[in-house]
Amino acid sequence: MDKNKGAAYTQGLITLVVLAVLTGAEYGIAVALPSLWVALIVIALIKAAIVIQFFMHIARVFREEGGHS
């Protein structure tokens, strides 16, 4: 229980906003600068990392105890 309820909800909301901004950026890049495909791949990787870390809580799998955050 390292975080209280409100903070956990806020973290979810911030994650959503960041992901939304990145998705918008992807779309913008694809429409405006189609040659910049590397940026799209980088953004996709960043988005995936954010989801895995903040939505899927990958760190939990490495924790010995079964406790919840």
Partner 1 sequence: MSADTAHMTDYKFKLSNNRLGLWLFILSDSFVFGGLLVTRYYLLGGHRPELDQMLGLIVTSVLLVSSFFMNRAETAIAHGDRQNFIVSTAITMILGIGFLVGVIGFEWRTAPFGPSDGAAGSVFYMMTGMHAFHVLTGVLFLFVVLRNGLRGRYSAERHWAVEACANYWHFVDVVWIFFYPALYLLGTPAG
Which residues lie near partner 1 (CB under 8 A)? 5, 8-9, 12-13, 15-16, 19-20, 23, 26-27, 29-31, 34, 37, 40-41, 43-44, 47-48, 51-52, 54-56, 58, 60-61, 63-69
Cα distances (angstroms) measured from residue 9 to each of 12, 27, 48, 57, 58: 5, 27, 20, 14, 18
Cβ 19 to partner 1, closest distance in Å?
A: 6
| 55 touches 11 (CB < 8 A) | no
Cβ 41 to partner 1, closest distance in Å?
A: 7
